[in-house]
Structure 1
């Protein structure tokens, strides 16, 4: 069935995207306003873009009549932290979704700890298993109610319990117990039902596909 995204209303487009692009990793973004107020909010229009340099992108939607505090702070200061969300932090993350006024510290509201970052001013969330300190590389207002931000990752903090070998950067991904955003209102997914596929090799593919002597036409 065809959906013409150019003619649908915004809420209908949102429903199609969030119902089909799943699971989506969650960027639990912490920022600092120009007045020094900490803001925290989760965003699931998010992913990494590459590693040379290490970059990530976040799609920030606007609130009623204005950009949300996260977008305002990022565009004003050029700095932010992307914290990832583990299952044990799901309830606290949900609290930070609240439509609080700009002068409210969502971390304090959710009973979370603001930990100092290494290279930038906004704090990271101490309870998060992974935090990326970022500086804005590029930003683009893509519509009257949304902006896209590309951040360069300056530092990565990973829970030591999940680091198997620091020198070789081996991370025990299942131990992080990260969750992703799913469809509809309030639905999330665990990263526990896994399967593995080996990446195909062209030479091996051709060799296996070639007729065997007893299969010659």
Structure 2
């Protein structure tokens, strides 16, 4: 089967791309919302949303990229609004066991409503809660339940396409890694055990996947 993309609409292209670029890592992104009611109550509201158009871009500087579309209303998504306002974001790597929670945070809420509040009020979600803890040395907290979290600052934003799609480039300032999933290798480098993290991967449509048992292949000299 050969498919000519010029014959396909944007939605059809998206449907095919998300089924063939697999598996994709998920950026579970936490940002600070500007909510007038929260300000009056002297509280912080955090937006939490998953993005599978996500990748590492470079290591010097250490740049990650997430691609953000629009809400169904055509408005900018809260993650984009929040990072434009505050320039900070925490990107988590979720586990396969958190797939239901990740899916719940994909819901479209009014700006200022927190997905964390929604999940913690919904007893049907695996009886699981999400809580934040201080991210040492960073201004935003991280999710206590995730083994990996990147504390990032806005680096650059680019808009592409006719809709347009927004590419958010962020610079990693620090990384939290749960000590339970790491050890030092023979070269005194941090070895992260992927099988212990069991990261959640995105496939097409409503499909997700975990990982198989890791295996090693040495690169040629």
Alignment TM-score > 0.5, same fold? yes
Q: Structure 2: which 5+ runs fail to align?
A: 36-43, 120-128
| Cα deviation, residue 21, structure 1 | 0.4
Q: When the two structures are aligned, how many residues end up with a matched partner?
A: 200
Name the counterpart of 1:172. 193
Partner residue, 1:214: none
Q: How does 1:1-217 map to 2 (within 5 A)?
A: 1-35=1-35, 36-64=44-72, 65-110=74-119, 111-143=129-161, 144-165=163-184, 168-185=189-206, 187-201=207-221
Moved more, 95-104 or 22-31: 95-104
In structure 2, distance between residues paired with 1:198 and 1:188: 29
User: Structure 1 residues 95 and 120 mapped into 2: Cα distance closer, same or farther (>3 Å)?
Assistant: same
- For the residues of structure 1 that align with 2:69 and 2:144, how far apart are their CA atoms? 26
**Unpaired segments of 5 or more residues in structure 1?**
202-217
Give the secondary structure class of the aligned counterpart of 2:110.
coil
Q: CA RMSD in A?
A: 1.9
Q: Could you state the TM-score of these two structures normalised by the residue count of structure 2? A: 0.83
Verify the 8 A CA contact 1:134 1:152 in the aligned structure 2.
yes
- Give runs of ≥4 in structure 1 deviating > 4 Å: none
Q: Deviations over 1:61-96 (max 9, x none)?
A: 111211111111112221101000112222211111
For residues 94-134 of structure 1, the C-alpha deviation after alignment (integer angstroms, 9 at most, x for no partner) is 11111222222111222310222334433221111100000
Deviations 1:151-191 (A, max 9, x none): 11011011111011396212222111111001222x11111
CA distance in 2, matches of 1:115, 1:7: 49
3-state SS, counterpart of residue 63 of structure 2: strand
Distance, in Å, in 1 between the alignment partners of 2:177 and 2:30 is 16
